[in-house]
Amino acid sequence: MDKTLPPRVLVATVEVDGLVWFFKLSGASDGVAAHREDFHRFLDSVKFGKPGEATCPTPKGWDTSSRGMQGSFKRFKSLAIPTDTEILDVSVSFLRAPATGIDDEYLKTNLDRWRKQIKLGPISDKDGDDWKDVLSAISIDGVPGLLADITGSVNQHFTPPRPPASASTGPMTEPRFEYSVPDDWTDRGASAFVAQTWTVGENEDAVKISLSFAGGELEDNVNRWRDQVGLGEVASSQFESVEVDGQAGKLFDLVGESRRVIGIVVPQTRLSLFIKMTGPVDKVEGEQAEFMAFVQSLKLK
């Protein structure tokens, strides 16, 4: 396996009959991307039975694995996807659901666990609601759930399935930038999810501008944000083409009933750069010219 590839995990989570089921695909980012659709078809084939039972047919070309208990988790099924460069790990496990159900704190706890496995730091208060950007809605056997899509840093590699002994707790470290920002943009620094953040205004009226890197498919990332402003899915043909420091990108403008997102996606070697402005519809409108001037000033080192 090419150890320069960042690790990536996809984890589908649903609650059924008092149990939380986890369906996880992990490996190097390129391998996970190549088998993402296969993983979704696998999820579509799952049928739940009595509590603690499910039918999960093994897809053609996948192998069964002998992995069993993992701490307090019961591995219901273990599968392996052979590729030319590595073996991707697919696991099906479950755990008794908490009394509170799958709430934000439960999601954060599990996201931190998966982040640690690919050497990313935990979610902090400084991240605000940015951690939700890796989540999207799914359904397994008619049961609504969530899919987490997490990509590690470009300078880390994946060694399945043993989690690392320690994890970085600092903000993400990615290529630096040069840019010009308006005087009224307040610098909020970096976090585990963003390379740089600014805000304009206060409280619920605040507009947030951010630079971040993410893996995954373009449409999946954008559709997560569309869902956050109450819009349906969009096809790639609906994006506008733009340039950032001479590099080709896609611009999207998502206007919901009360919230708006303007963002630009610029593919990089392994991840994509997201330049994003979010906030109340009228406040984003008032800041749009400044945002586009900022984008034009951006230089990627």
Task: Read off the pLDDT of residues 227-272 as tens digits, 9 standing for 90 and up.
Answer: 767 776 665 556 789 999 999 999 988 888 888 999 899 987 767 8
Q: Nearest-CA neighbor of 194 among 103, 300, 270, 123?
A: 123
Q: Does any domain span residue 170?
A: no
Pairwise CA distance, residues 148 & 183, whole Å? 36
Flag whether the pTM goes above 0.85. Answer: no
Residue 164 inside a domain? The answer is no
Tens digits of residue pLDDT in 59-101: 999 998 655 444 445 678 999 999 888 899 999 999 988 887 7
Task: Give the CATH number for residue 210.
Answer: 3.40.1000.10
pLDDT in tens, 181-200: 999 999 988 766 677 889 99
Q: ω before 98 within 30° of 0 (cis)?
A: no
Q: Residue 29: give the domain boundaries.
A: 7-151
Is the domain of 202 the same as that of 275? yes
CA atoms within 13 A of residue 7's CA, in its CB half-sphere: 24
DSSP code at position 70: B
3-state helix, strand, coil in the chain (%, to 5): 25, 40, 40
CA gap 143, 35 in Å, rounded: 23
Say what the pLDDT of residue 300 is.
Answer: 82
Looking at the domain assignment, is residue 157 inside a domain? no
Same domain, 69 and 140: yes
